[in-house]
Amino acid sequence: MKTKHFVLLAFMAVVGVVTLNSFTVPEPADNGYTIGDEATDFKLKNVDGKMVSLADYSEAKGFIVIFTCNTCPYAVASEDRIIALDKKFKSKGYPVIAINPNDPNVQPDDTFELMQQKAKDKGFTFPYLYDANDKIYAAYGAKKTPHVYLLKKESGKNVVKYIGAIDDNVRNGAAVKDTFLANAVNELLQGKEVSVKETRAIGCSIKV
């Protein structure tokens, strides 16, 4: 009888450990999307307090999903370019959706309140979503901020068409020679295949 209790207790302890870990440890980001994969939709809280999903945008042809944050110097250096991208491409069917993946318990500069402040100060024209509870970044495979995923709607699915950087010079927008992301969106708008599908840039590791 005693043994039975111990077995039960041991089993519960194992379940406890497994359950605890599955809820607190994020999925490894190694298995993110590659070009051609279907990207998951999400329901995340925007800085205006409303929940935002890709499915809300019935008119959109696709999305410029950008994982970014409040204070990473590479994210800060990209802010004006992200606003310009939204202004240029939202009306053409490709709105920017910005997602902050950082956990404010680890990175105190990325609380929801400071996100609201950032969006207000910079005049963000796009949703800026809080991801610390949902870990959408891990499903996408984002490893740093900023990290861009360009999605195109194809028969009801959001298909990944481009992954990487906004352009070839994060730290100085004036010295950009190649606008990778804008080129990719323009190619999709022209019904072409994206020619440069993946690029890389230095960024801040995601803080979770």
Partner 1 sequence: MRNLVVLLLLVLVVSCKNKEVDKKEVVSETVAEVATDQSNDIEEGKALIPFYNYEELEAKYLQPKNDTTYVVNFWATWCKPCIKELPAFEKLNADYANKKVKVVLVSLDFPDRVVKQVVPFIEKRNLNSEVVLLDDPDANSWIPKVNENWSGAIPATIITTKDKKTFYERSFTFEELETELKTIL
Residues that bind partner 1 (CB under 8 A): 3, 6-7, 9-10, 13-14, 16-17, 20-21, 24, 71-73, 76-77, 105-109, 143-144, 147, 164-165, 168-172, 174-175, 177, 180, 199-207
Minimum CB–partner distance for residue 140 and partner 1 (Å):
12
Residue with tokens 């992301």: 181
162 forms beta bridges with: 150
Minimum CB–partner distance for residue 84 and partner 1 (Å):
14
**Pick 93 or 173: Cβ nearer partner 1:** 173
**Pick 24 or 155: Cβ nearer partner 1:** 24
How far apart are alpha carbons 41 and 65 in whole angstroms?
11
Please tell me what DSSP assigns to residue 146: S
CA angle, 115 then 117 then 122, to 5°: 95
**Pick 58 or 172: Cβ nearer partner 1:** 172
How far apart are alpha carbons 41 and 23 in whole angstroms?
20
**Pick 127 or 164: Cβ nearer partner 1:** 164
How far apart are alpha carbons 1 and 156 in whole angstroms?
57
The torsion angles phi and psi of 41, rounded to 5 degrees, stand at -80, 175
Minimum CB–partner distance for residue 121 and partner 1 (Å):
12
